[in-house]
Amino acid sequence: MKTDHLLPLLDAFKIELPSWGFADTGTRFGKFLQDAAAVTIEEKLADAGHVHALTGCCPTVAVHVLWDFRKDQPAEKVASLAKKYGVAIGAINPNVFQDQQYKWGSIANRSEKIREMAIDHILDSIRIGQAVGSDWLSLWFADGINYPGQSDIIARKKWMAAALNRLHEAMPANMTMLVEYKPFEPAFYATDIADWGMALLLARFAGERAKVLVDTGHHYQATNIEQIVAWLLDENMLGGFHFNDRKYADDDLTLGSIDPYQIFRIFHEIENYRFRTGHLPPLAYMVDQSHNLKPKIEAMIQTVDIAQQLYLKAVLVDRKRLGAAQEGEDLVTSENILRDAFMTDVRPLLARWRKGRQLPEDPLAAHRQSGYEAKAAAQRRRNHPDKGGAAYA
Ligand SMILES: [Mn+2]
């Protein structure tokens, strides 16, 4: 099969890495520290730059305002640090879920004072985004209630809608607001933005530069995620993704580690939309994973590699033949066209693309040979002696 015409598509396929994916993170029961895990924003950007240098696929880094920006460090300084490591700042993620004042919620809190505090923090985040040249404001709210009767659901909806609308007004013209949804956790009775319908309505209420963010781990087990993706695309309401995988709930496992066919089916719907319309809206492909046990950088390289593979497989679907099979109600052929693409080994094609771009054909092996991990571990042990002791690397 001639596939070289697909190589430019890979040039355009970019994935954003999260700064927090390089830091020590864990479950709510605890976290296991790694000596090589990044602590400062500079270390996180260095790691992200290293992954980008090896893969050529991750030019931007998503940042978390409370975790990555200190009051004494101007935002522009973070942008220039990113540049130093060969990357740029991507999505800005405000944090209105960890401070004590948000015990009863942030923008859905019944206290106007707390709602204003949350809005102020997000307005600050928008300003940071402007200062670092970011195009994306990525919003996730932990707001919700744990018990029936705890709060007035409609009042909360209206508070959220009003807040998002004000935030949208404050965004510069180049910025897109992403509204993420999640069915449960930390709220266990009614999360305020629990599904894509609620996110869609709130995004519409916020304004035309607000879109829905699909986190692949934020669905109930039986949800057909690719169908949501197709509908959002057709409504011009899909903004991007948080990529991860799961077996049970929001496990934040490595993309494609449990169900690669799921991610393939999502890419298939995206490519199908492109085939039908001849265009695609800008989509933010972002990783949102927590590598509690895997070495962080290895996990990121593995993620990028599998994302590229699954994307290429979706590109390989023979859409003309598929259309003809669908016309004839030939279910078996239709399904097999998808399966044939999914089963195709695209690794030689990917290696060819890397070679043509002066990238290592096997980025994981190149990383292991580079000695980066051991060097980072030694340095970071010295820089952060109070971090605690994991005997990794
Ligand atoms: Mn997410």
Over residues 244-302, the pLDDT tens digits come to 999 999 999 999 999 999 999 999 999 999 999 999 999 999 999 988 899 999 999 99
Render pLDDT for 145-204 as a digit per residue (tens, 0 to 9). Answer: 999 999 999 999 999 999 999 999 999 999 999 999 999 999 999 999 999 999 999 999
> In the structure encoding, which two tokens stand for residue 31, read together?
């976290």
Which residue type sits at 241? F
Q: How far is the CA of 98 from the centre of ligand 1 (A)?
A: 15
Q: In this model, does residue 385 exceed pLDDT 90?
A: no
Q: In this model, does residue 390 exceed pLDDT 50?
A: no
Contact between residue 169 and residue 209 where contact means Cβ atoms under 8 Å apart: no
The mean pLDDT of the chain is 95
Q: How far is the CA of 35 from the centre of ligand 1 (A)?
A: 25
* Mean per-residue pLDDT, 371-387: 93
Looking at per-residue pLDDT, the higher value among 387 and 89 belongs to: 89
Please report where in the chains the tokens 């035309």 appear, as a residue.
Answer: 208
Q: How far is the CA of 223 from the centre of ligand 1 (A)?
A: 17
Q: How far is the CA of 326 from the centre of ligand 1 (A)?
A: 35
Please state, as a whole number, how many other Cβ atoms lie within 10 Å of the Cβ of residue 200. Answer: 22
Q: How far is the CA of 271 from the centre of ligand 1 (A)?
A: 23
Please tell me the pTM assigned to this model. 0.96
Dmax (CA) of the chain: 67
Q: In this model, does residue 76 exceed pLDDT 60?
A: yes
* Mean per-residue pLDDT, 222-226: 97
Which residue type sits at 259? D
* Mean per-residue pLDDT, 92-105: 96
Q: Which residues contact 233 (CB under 8 A, 6 or more apart)?
A: 269, 270, 273, 281
- Closest of 356, 367, 249, 246 to residue 305, by C-alpha: 367
Q: How far is the CA of 198 from the centre of ligand 1 (A)?
A: 16
Q: How far is the CA of 261 from the centre of ligand 1 (A)?
A: 20
Cα 246 to Cα 314: distance, rounded to the nearest angstrom: 21
Length of the chain counted residue by residue: 393
Helices 296-315 and 41-55, packing angle to 10 deg: 40
Strand partners, 27: 30
> In the structure encoding, which two tokens stand for residue 127, read together?
């300003």
Q: How far is the CA of 242 from the centre of ligand 1 (A)?
A: 5
Q: How confident is the model at residue 391 (pLDDT cuts 50, 70, 90)?
A: very low
Q: Residues whose CB is under 5 A from ligand 1 (ion)?
A: 215, 242, 288
Handedness of CA 17, 230, 94, 173 (dihedral sign): positive
pLDDT at 142: 97
Q: How confident is the model at residue 392 (pLDDT cuts 50, 70, 90)?
A: very low
Q: How far is the CA of 144 from the centre of ligand 1 (A)?
A: 16
